[in-house]
Structures are given as C-alpha cells and as structure tokens.
Structure 1
Amino acid sequence: MKKRKHSLSFFVVFILVFFCMVYSVAAKSKGKGWNVLLITIDTLRTDRLSCYSREHLETPHIDSLAHRGVLFDYAFAHTSTTLPSHTNILLGRTPLYHGVHENSNFIVQEDHLTLAEFLESIGYSTGAFVGAYPLDSRFGLDQGFSTYDDEYGSQSARGNKYYVERKAEEVVDRALVWVKRQSSPWFMWVHVYDPHVPYEPPQPFKDRFKEDLYNGEVAYVDSELGKIFDYLESEKMYKNTLIVLTGDHGEGLGQHGEPTHGFFAYNTTIRIPLIFYFPGIEPGNVPDYVGHIDIFPSICEVLDLKKPDLLTGVSLLPAIKGKKLKHGPIYFESLYPFYSRGWAPLRGYIDNEEKYIESPIPEVYNLKEDFDEQNNLAQEKELNRYRKELDEIMAKYSGAKEKEALRTPGSETLRKLRSLGYVSGVSHEEKQEYGPEDDIKTLLPLYNKSIIAKQIYVQGKDQQAIRMLQEVITERKDIDVAYSNLATLYKEKGNLRGALLVLEEGMKNLPESHEIFSAYVNFLTEAGQSDKVISLFNEVGLREMDYDPELWNFLGIAYTRKGEYMKALEALDKAVSIDSDFASTYNNMGNAYLSIYLNTKNEQELQKAIENYQKAVEFNPEDAAAYNGLGAVYKQLGDLDKAVKAWEQSLSIDPEYGLPLYNLGYIHMERGNNKEALRHFVRYLDLYQNNIPAEKRRQIEQWIKQMEEKKH
C-alpha cells in the first residue's frame, strides 16, 4: 500500500490554497456523511450483466445491487481505454479539459480536483484499490487518496516480464481489510480488471465458461464483488452508504471488426453499466442517456454537498427520483490509434438518440432504431450541421490545461502497457486533412490481420502466418505491427538476417516508429552488429531515445563489445538516469566493469562489477544473466564455491541459458568433477550446436572425448 506524499514546496502550497478556495463551500457543510463506495469494472460490456440482459450469463451479486437501487439503461463512457475513462469519472471532466486521452502518453496533472480530494477535504478517509497498471499511482489518479493500493507484484523471470495486473480476489480482499479499519465516513474506490484480455478466469469459472472465457471473467468478478456486498449487509452499512457501480468501457468481442477495445467508439465499447444505490432510494430504471462525467456531481447532490464549479457533468439525482433529466450532448473520442500509430482521430457525440462519429469516413446512427449501429445514415445527412455542433461541444468542454497532461512514457511504462496490449508510438501532430486511407475502419482490418498472423504462427502454421504479414506490408507500408511481427517470426525460425531486412524496410517506411526502431536495435545487438547499433544512434533522432533506457542499454552493450568501456558506461549511466530500477542495465554495467578488470586487473573495477550485479538481482531476483555475472566475478576472486552456486542459481532460473551451462562445465572439469562437467557440456552442445564458433565447438568436443576416455 502507498501513502500519497506531499512536499511543502511553494508550488504545492499555492495549489493547496487554490483547493481551499474551491473546497470552501463544501467545507461549510459535511452533507449527509454517508460512506461512498465506487466500484469500477474494467472492460465490462453492459449486456454481460443479467440485470441488463439475460442472454449470456447470470450475475446475481451485481443484480442484487441493481434491484436495491437505480439502473441507468443508457450510460456512456467518453473514452474507450482505462486511464482516461477513470480520469473522466474522478475529475468530472472530459479529456478535452484534463488532457488525458489514452493510457500511455498522459499523466493527470496535480492541479486538477479529484473526487477523492473533494471528499477528503470534508473529513472522509479515502482508499483506492486498483487491479492493473494503467491506474498506477504514477499516472496521477492517487491524488486525494490517503491509501492507494496499486501493488501488482515484482518482476518475474526471463525477459523482464512484469506482473501488471492482479485478480479481483486480491483487490477485494485488500479493500475489505482497509474498510474494516475505517470509521465513517469513508470513500473507497475498488477497481477490478479481470474482464480485460487475456481472458483467464480461475476455476471453477474456467470450466463453466470454457466456450466463452470473457463471460467467465465477468462471472468471477461478480462472485468476488459479492464479498463486499455481503460485508455491507452484515455490518448494516446499506443504511449509510452510497454505492456507484460502473464500467470504464466495453469490449468489441469481434463486433464491427474490433476484437477488444480502444480503436472504435461504437456502443459495444463505450456503452457502460451504471447503477446507483443509497439509503431511501426507490428502485427502478432510468432511460435517459448519461455519461461518466455525471457521476461526480451526482455524488455531490446525493450527499447534499454543493458541487465544485469546475464540473461539467449534470447531477443524475432528478432522474433517480423519476424526473425528466435535462442533459446536453455526450462527447466521446477514441484517440489511442492516433497517439500510438498516427491514424486519423475519431471524435463524436450523442444527442437526442442520434450519434455522430467524426472521422474521414463519417458515421451517423439513429440509436432509437439502430442501437447496434448497422445502418450508417451519413450519406443522407447534412454533415456540416453535425461538424458544427461537434466543434461547439469541443469548445465548451476544452480547457487550457489539456496539453499539459501529455508526457512521453518511460520504458518500464511501455513494457507494462505493451504486456496488456497497449502500444505507445510517437505523439503525432494532427494533419490538416485525413483521407479514407487514414480511417480506423480502413486500417484496423490490416492491424487485425497482423495480430492473427502471429496467433496462427503459434499454432504451427508458419508459412501461412508469414504470407499474411507479407500481404499486409505489400498492401500498406505503414502498419508497424506487421513489420515487428514478421521480424519476430523470422527470428524465431532462426532467420535473423531476414528479420533484420524486414526491420530495415520498416525503418525506411516508418522512420518515426519507436516500436520498429527498438526491435531493430535489439535484433542488431543479438546479431553482434555493434557498429551498426552505434551508427544508428548517430543517424536517428527519435524523441524516445531520451525516455527509453532499453535503447541506451543496447548502446552500452555495443560499446562494451567494442572495448570502448568508458563510452559504454556513459550510455548505461544514461539508462539508469531514465529508469533507476531497470535490472538489465545494472547487469550490463557489471559486464562493463568486469571487462575493464580483465584488461587492467584493477580490483576496484571488480568490486564495482559485484555491486552492479547485486543491484540487478535486487531489482529482479530472477535475472539469470546477473547471477551468471556474479559467478564470473567470484571465479576471478578465487571463490569457486560461490561461483558454482551463482551459476547454478542462474540455471535454475533459465535451464537453457548457455553461459552458465558452459561455465559450470568448465569449472567442474577444472576441479576434476568429470561427471558434472560432461553433463553440462553435453547439454550446452545439444542446445547451441549450430550457434557457437566451430573452433569452440571442436574444443568442447575434445574435452568431452577426453573425459569419456578417463571413465574407461
């Protein structure tokens, strides 16, 4: 758990004074003093809750909340990715004001007022329990929470893979521990991530829903949330608790050609469930169209608090009480494809059961008759009217702070978000004009084809996968994932030269693609082309170079291999300055210092090598390369027992890692333990027969022959 810390700088003092002015009206009255529970379920389609539709599965616990409270039939997100949607909810403003448009390039600025800060200012204890990395505290939504629990675990074994999400069970259990220690009033936000890809529900839901694992995730979440509802019941807290349950966005599940979310803004991905409960509420349904930004002002009015002036949503309390709601147009956007790949921006609005989507191929839908958005009416409409209204909506919701949220993500952020399916590219400037060729509807099928190709490759259909990716590249030269996936396939088939040729073509056609550049440098490093790596850094000026420690890590490796150790350490120091807990960088610094020692015999360099290898292990206890480095250092120090132990630890993490296999074979041979030496050398040759120099292979074969002869 984390406690939010505030430094008493002049800037923060100024902000606190500003907030005191904003809070002044609220602070005069603490309202009804009810507890507030906000539950957000990631990637939740409305039609998967049985209180909305009984077509797919039963969700009895969420249904029970709906039966106690009021269910909104048509609630909408303003964005279709996690961070911006939750920012909309907790700030009560759209991205046009707060500037958080997608997951990877933005941070919530500290001078925005959050719901947590508002409630904390009138005496609420505040706690948040989030299920995945897109809501990590580094992105700024922890403002106002005295406890912000965003612990997902640490680095795991090979490849610096991160645990970037956790199961609903852990989120709910930690939330219950916290809330049981609080006295009223408290504000608790519980976010569960499970319905997001990959769909991996635990048992028994995995077997019960083996034909539709997404439904299994939703059923699992419903079961876990039941623990919270049971606690409230047992403690008689329904009599003094306001509960809001919603989703952050939906999921395409293949409809409109969108497998997941984040690209389009059809109702499959922006319609969300919304349920309100509070003491004295009369159960029922509300048919009005409403949005996420209405939640904050609604909570204020339910609690009998004056809402902050900055909120742009409307209170839903009149609708909850059965009155007709006066609601203006609902703005929405989908800018993840624009920020990650430079595709055309997508924006629009819903008003009077009509939906307009602004894109190079515009769309208009009559939601009353065509809620599934199958019949595009754009050709029958005067589109200038819709464009003018969209411009007016954007002008109304815009704010001077919008562009201040834009940040370039660091490589740890990129790695974690990529593992969840989000890719960050360069931040593109909007073109003056976009054509149909830039439309998401044109480009997404090619993107999907590139993803499917990699999936069928895993199924053993190598040639079909390669052919599909080649077809994408032939049709369009600007689909980055086609290049990176094709290169990866070639590399896995042992064709590293072919992989490099693909990435060279990708660099030529997409010179600003961070994804392609990073893969190219990585593969060049693996191919031992150090001169090419160094020249690329001098030729290419990607802005990500200043924010991605992996790139500087590769440069450090290149200089180390060339024996230019000072330049290597400069590059690796730059990597550390960007990301001080990136284990691989410390491992490579250890390699550089060990190399310096081997050339100078200066034992101070050996000590520096130990310190850096140990740091690598500290930040990633399963860094096999760092343990191999430690073994090499211990051997130089003459402590062979420690060397063997370190190499064995390295192999226990990665049983197919060549360096410790060879090192253990050699040291056991030196110590006369031929049985162990033979075992490691034979294993080494089995794995790397075709990837080691012929002279080295012949030497190992000669050692094996000599040891086998001694056995007889």
Structure 2
Amino acid sequence: MLAESFQKAGYETGAFVAAYVLHSHWGLNRGFDLYNDDGVHGVDDLGSGSKLERRGDEVVTAALPWLLQERDSPFFGWVHLYDPHAPYDAPEPWGTQFADEPYDGEVSFTDSVVGNLLEEIENAGLLENTIVVITADHGEDLQDHGELGHGLFIYDTTVRVPLLLRLPDLAAAGMVVDDQVRLVDVAPTLLELTGLPLPENVTGHSVASFISGTGTARPAYSETMFPRWHLGWQELYALRDGGYKYILAPRPELYDLRSDPEELNNLAGDMPDVAAEMRERIESLGAQVDASTRSVASDNVTKSLRALGYIGTAPSNLGTGPLPDPKDKVEVYAMMVEADSLMSELRYSEAITLLEKVIGLDPRLVDAHAELGKALALTDDYEGAEKGFLAALELRPDYVSVLAELGVVHRRLGEIDLARSDFEAVLELDPRNSNSLFNLGEMELEAGNPAAALRRFDLVLDFFDEPAAPHFAAGVASYELGDFRRAHEEFEFVAT
C-alpha cells in the first residue's frame, strides 16, 4: 500500500531486500519500480545450492547507486536488513568482539551498516531533504520465555521494536516519545509528512502529532498464527493498552507492564475484571483464524523456509476445540529446534533419539515424524524412514516435501510402483517439483524408456537450467536415443 501510494504520486520507488522470505515472487514488489532481490533464492530441490539471505553490507552496496542517482522526481526507498536472525554469525570483527553474545554481534554489525548508509546519503547532500525511518518487524526472545527466536509467543521481547524518525533539517531532533505507537502508524505518518492522501483501508494513525505535542498513546494489537499453522497449537492474540497487556490464550495472561516489564507475573486470576474487559476488546476487533492464510507450500519453499528457521507444518485436521497452549509446549518446541540443529550438523543418531522423545511427548507434531524419517533415511534405515514419513503423511496428506522423500525411500526399497505413485502425487500438488520429475525420469531410464525419460528431464531443465544432474541425465537419455549431438552438448555443459 505505501509503495503504491508513493508510486501513484509520481515518486520513484525502489526496494532492496536481504532474504528469501521477501522475494518478489511473494507479491511484495507491488508499487516498486525496482525490486532488488538479486542473488537471493530458495533451496533448489535438486541440491544445487541456495542463497537464502545476503548480508546488510551487500544490500546497501546494491541500494546506494539507486538512492544516490540524480533524478528529477522524489523517491521512496526501502532498504531491508536481515542480519539479526538465527544463526547469529556476524562477520569480523564483530564475530570475535561478541563471541559470547552472537546476537548482539549481529545487531552491532547491522548498526554499522545503517550508519554507513546514512553517511553516504548525507555526503551526497540528500539528508537535508529526506525523511528517514528505521524500525523492525520483531525482536528475538533469546529464551527469556523459553523461545530462542520469534514467532511462538507475543511477549514484548519479540513484539516491542524500535521506531526512529529523522526529519529534514533535524526538526524535533532529540525528541523521545514515551507513549505507545504501532508499526501500522508508520505508513500514515509518512503519507502525512509528505502531504499525500491516506488510502481508505489504512488502519493506523500518523505519529506526526507528537511533534506538535498533541499526540496520544494508542492501543496496540498483535497476534501470532505460527503455533497454529506450523505446530498445531493454539494461536495467540494480545492487546497492550493503559500499562496492561492481555494475551488471549487457553490459559490467559495479564501483565502490568509498569511494574513487570519482563512479563513474569500473570495477573489474570488476580484482576479478572481488567482481564475480561481486555479480552472483550480483542474479540471486538474480530480476532479470529483466517484459513486463507494456510496453503500448500512447494517442496522448494518448505526447504527454504526451514533453512531460515521457520520450521513445522500442522496437521490437516485441527478439530474445533481449543488447541494446546504454546506455554505448555515450549520445552517440546525447544527440543524440535535442537533436533533441527543436530540435523544440520549431520549428527543424525542424536537427532533420532531426540525426535523419538519429541514424538512421545506430542505424537501430532507432523515435522517430528517427518524429520525422524529423514534422519533414518540418512542413516540407511529405509524401512524406519518409510514409517516416519507415512506417520507424517497420515497427519498431513498434502505435505509435498515428505511425499517426495517417501518416493525416494520407496525407490531405495525397490518398491518402484509405490515410488512412482508417490512422485505422481507430488506433481499433482506441485507440478514444478523438479525432484519428482527427475526421479521419474531416472526410473524411465532404468525401465528402458529413454524417450519418456528425456521428456521428464527436459521439464526439469525448463524449470531449473543450472544444476548439472538433469543435464547429465538428459545426455544419457539422448545417447541411448542415438542423438549424439545433444548428448555431447549436455555432457560438455556438465564438464564445464
């Protein structure tokens, strides 16, 4: 909405993003004349590698030529930095300086990147006529409430974020606003400060009134659907107002943030009237599950998001009653995160032991079964892997990546008809799934059908031209068909 408003008003609009979660194929490029996500792409399901994020200095290097170019029209630019996300591995010298506090190292590195960006803008003489906003979409819990990262809970450790505003000519410089404002207020603030009209669907309110001393605090609503859609646990809603914060959960929570900013003393039972009033206000906002936010993710997307730390998918049937409270499952979630780390470190035996324990504690955790199947497959226990994948699919039949991995396991077990059925089922859900297309092509080759195999390999190459494997396979199929020129071209591609 914001970029579209500026674009409509004649501004040049540009975005420079650092992570796959903001790739243009999600539709976030609307309103931007230039949307730079160069070099950021998902996990290729043929294993050719990926670059799920780029460091902040790379993003700024890409953004500066566009920001500093001479132009006749005003501009709106968005520079997105992703560094303070797990795994925390700041470059040197920050990595060494903050070896004991790696998250702080990422934050410090990001601070330096922002400083360099602003310095370049100032040196170009642009700051005197430019509004600068710095903010974040979330923080990290760092186990203050048992969560390492973000998404599971909506305590202030993750939802209270900085908002810095620098105006031309340093207007209102040094002003600190203690009253509560919200991220939904950023867009109307920028539109008011630039004299542009507000679209009808804007829900926030400009904070420009604080500059004149007339601004007032406003209630802040937040929610997380992560527990529901990723883990099969209850989603959470919160309202923060008047010094209190109420979290709508199976076991509701109420905190007096003035005396308990760390949200450790739940007053819901001691102050039932306040809790009931805030709950009613949350419900009056229409807080409810929007099933349209749930969809079937492709194999590529699932692997890419998992690599960025967004683990899990919930069972297809969640029922109609209350789901488990995330507070009661935080230790299970921590075990899942640890198992994920063990898998990435190739410590499969330890991961298997831990995942079996997780399943004993919560047998409806789809990804616990899926990851157990993967770990068993990687230790050549294909019968055990088959059981793990089938257990995951019983809970979530449309789990594309698990279906694809089950097909590979069935091939290893010599169950060719089952494998073919698995891969065909994947393609029904994800027609571009190159892993399944490639496996079906290999199976056609093994069955003595090079023409059918080549058709499969050519489809893979239409989607992913870079990996060597489909080129080599296409070369083999072409050779068997007597097309030696095509075979030579494919083998030469692989060799170079």
TM-score under structure 2 length normalisation: 0.86
Check conservation: 2:457, 2:470, Cα contact below 8 A.
no
1:143 aligned onto 2:30: yes
**Counterpart among 170, 187, 193 of residue 76 in structure 2:** 187
What whole-Å deviation, never above 9, does each CA across 1:437-471 have from its counterpart, x for those lacking one?
x1111223212213323535776876654333222
What whole-Å deviation, never above 9, does each CA across 1:585-616 have from its counterpart, x for those lacking one?
554565466568x45x9xxx38x828945962
1:335 aligned onto 2:225: yes
SS of the residue corresponding to residue 286 of structure 1 reads coil
CA distance in 2, matches of 1:642, 1:516: 33
Kindly tell me: are residues 179 and 473 of structure 1, through their superposed partners in 2, closer, same or farther at Cα, counting changes over 3 Å?
same
Kindly tell me: are residues 618 and 637 of structure 1, through their superposed partners in 2, closer, same or farther at Cα, counting changes over 3 Å?
farther
Residue 659 (structure 1) aligns with: none
CA drift of 1:413 comes to: 2.7
1:377 aligned onto 2:267: yes
CA distance in 2, matches of 1:446, 1:513: 24
What whole-Å deviation, never above 9, does each CA across 1:263-315 have from its counterpart, x for those lacking one?
10011111111000112422221101111000011112222334233212111
Residue 633 (structure 1) aligns with: 478
CA distance in 1, matches of 2:22, 2:344: 31
CA distance in 1, matches of 2:87, 2:339: 17
CA drift of 1:140 comes to: 2.2
CA distance in 2, matches of 1:461, 1:428: 30
1:478 aligned onto 2:364: yes
The Cα RMSD (Å) is 3.5
1:121 aligned onto 2:1: no
Kindly tell me: are residues 459 and 179 of structure 1, through their superposed partners in 2, closer, same or farther at Cα, counting changes over 3 Å?
closer
CA distance in 2, matches of 1:592, 1:464: 33
What whole-Å deviation, never above 9, does each CA across 1:597-637 have from its counterpart, x for those lacking one?
x45x9xxx38x828945962882423335414414533663
Kindly tell me: are residues 497 and 648 of structure 1, through their superposed partners in 2, closer, same or farther at Cα, counting changes over 3 Å?
farther
Higher relative contact order (CA 8 A, sep 6+): 1
CA distance in 2, matches of 1:500, 1:157: 20
CA drift of 1:532 comes to: 3.3
Kindly tell me: are residues 174 and 520 of structure 1, through their superposed partners in 2, closer, same or farther at Cα, counting changes over 3 Å?
same
Residue 330 (structure 2) aligns with: 444
Kindly tell me: are residues 470 and 199 of structure 1, through their superposed partners in 2, closer, same or farther at Cα, counting changes over 3 Å?
same
CA distance in 1, matches of 2:439, 2:291: 37
Check conservation: 1:338, 1:345, Cα contact below 8 A.
yes
Kindly tell me: are residues 373 and 116 of structure 1, through their superposed partners in 2, closer, same or farther at Cα, counting changes over 3 Å?
same
**Counterpart among 243, 250, 264 of residue 353 in structure 1:** 243
Check conservation: 2:314, 2:396, Cα contact below 8 A.
no
Kindly tell me: are residues 500 and 267 of structure 1, through their superposed partners in 2, closer, same or farther at Cα, counting changes over 3 Å?
same
Q: What pairs with 1:661-676 in structure 2 (closer than 5 Å)?
A: none
Kindly tell me: are residues 312 and 148 of structure 1, through their superposed partners in 2, closer, same or farther at Cα, counting changes over 3 Å?
same
Kindly tell me: are residues 375 and 525 of structure 1, through their superposed partners in 2, closer, same or farther at Cα, counting changes over 3 Å?
farther
CA distance in 1, matches of 2:298, 2:147: 28
The letter for the 2-side match of 1:141 is: L
CA distance in 1, matches of 2:436, 2:316: 30
Residue segments in structure 1 that go unaligned for 5+ positions in a row: 1-113, 538-550, 557-570, 653-712
Check conservation: 1:200, 1:206, Cα contact below 8 A.
yes
CA distance in 2, matches of 1:638, 1:294: 63
CA drift of 1:187 comes to: 0.3
1:293 aligned onto 2:184: yes
CA distance in 1, matches of 2:377, 2:301: 25
CA drift of 1:367 comes to: 0.7
SS of the residue corresponding to residue 95 of structure 2 reads helix
The letter for the 1-side match of 2:120 is: Y
**Larger proportion of helix:** 1
The letter for the 1-side match of 2:115 is: G
CA distance in 1, matches of 2:480, 2:247: 66
The letter for the 1-side match of 2:180 is: Y
Kindly tell me: are residues 611 and 177 of structure 1, through their superposed partners in 2, closer, same or farther at Cα, counting changes over 3 Å?
farther
Residue 304 (structure 1) aligns with: 195
What whole-Å deviation, never above 9, does each CA across 1:159-213 have from its counterpart, x for those lacking one?
2543222221221111111122334410001111111222232233223322232
CA distance in 2, matches of 1:647, 1:499: 37
What whole-Å deviation, never above 9, does each CA across 1:392-417 have from its counterpart, x for those lacking one?
2337xx99xx7766654333333322
CA distance in 2, matches of 1:138, 1:327: 37
CA distance in 2, matches of 1:457, 1:122: 50
Kindly tell me: are residues 647 and 177 of structure 1, through their superposed partners in 2, closer, same or farther at Cα, counting changes over 3 Å?
closer
CA drift of 1:511 comes to: 4.7
Residue segments in structure 2 that go unaligned for 5+ positions in a row: none
Query: Comparing 405-414 with 355-364, which one deviates more in the overlay?
Result: 405-414
CA distance in 2, matches of 1:443, 1:522: 32
1:130 aligned onto 2:17: yes
Residue 285 (structure 2) aligns with: 393
CA distance in 1, matches of 2:377, 2:444: 31
The letter for the 1-side match of 2:31 is: G
Residue 62 (structure 2) aligns with: 174
CA drift of 1:353 comes to: 1.4
CA distance in 1, matches of 2:456, 2:349: 47
Kindly tell me: are residues 502 and 588 of structure 1, through their superposed partners in 2, closer, same or farther at Cα, counting changes over 3 Å?
closer
Query: Comparing 619-628 with 371-380, which one deviates more in the overlay?
Result: 619-628
SS of the residue corresponding to residue 251 of structure 1 reads coil
CA distance in 1, matches of 2:295, 2:388: 30
**Counterpart among 402, 419, 425 of residue 307 in structure 2:** 419
CA drift of 1:338 comes to: 0.9
Check conservation: 1:244, 1:277, Cα contact below 8 A.
yes
SS of the residue corresponding to residue 357 of structure 1 reads strand
CA distance in 2, matches of 1:610, 1:432: 46
SS of the residue corresponding to residue 201 of structure 2 reads coil
SS of the residue corresponding to residue 289 of structure 1 reads coil
CA distance in 2, matches of 1:575, 1:429: 18
SS of the residue corresponding to residue 244 of structure 1 reads strand
**Counterpart among 149, 156, 177 of residue 267 in structure 1:** 156
SS of the residue corresponding to residue 47 of structure 2 reads helix
CA distance in 2, matches of 1:626, 1:638: 14
Kindly tell me: are residues 454 and 239 of structure 1, through their superposed partners in 2, closer, same or farther at Cα, counting changes over 3 Å?
closer
Check conservation: 2:135, 2:162, Cα contact below 8 A.
yes
Kindly tell me: are residues 425 and 225 of structure 1, through their superposed partners in 2, closer, same or farther at Cα, counting changes over 3 Å?
same
Residue 92 (structure 2) aligns with: 203
Residue 236 (structure 1) aligns with: 125
Residue 363 (structure 1) aligns with: 253
Residue 658 (structure 1) aligns with: none
What whole-Å deviation, never above 9, does each CA across 1:480-527 have from its counterpart, x for those lacking one?
23222322332222222222233344445x255726555434433443
1:277 aligned onto 2:166: yes
Check conservation: 1:337, 1:344, Cα contact below 8 A.
yes
SS of the residue corresponding to residue 378 of structure 1 reads coil
Check conservation: 1:628, 1:646, Cα contact below 8 A.
no
SS of the residue corresponding to residue 356 of structure 1 reads strand
CA distance in 2, matches of 1:191, 1:215: 18
What whole-Å deviation, never above 9, does each CA across 1:27-47 have from its counterpart, x for those lacking one?
xxxxxxxxxxxxxxxxxxxxx
Residue 410 (structure 2) aligns with: 524
Residue 257 (structure 1) aligns with: 146
TM-score under structure 1 length normalisation: 0.62
CA distance in 2, matches of 1:381, 1:625: 65
Q: What pairs with 1:581-592 in structure 2 (closer than 5 Å)?
A: 582-584=433-435, 587-588=438-439, 590-591=441-442
Residue 95 (structure 1) aligns with: none
CA distance in 2, matches of 1:592, 1:456: 32
Kindly tell me: are residues 158 and 214 of structure 1, through their superposed partners in 2, closer, same or farther at Cα, counting changes over 3 Å?
farther
SS of the residue corresponding to residue 263 of structure 2 reads coil
1:555 aligned onto 2:424: yes
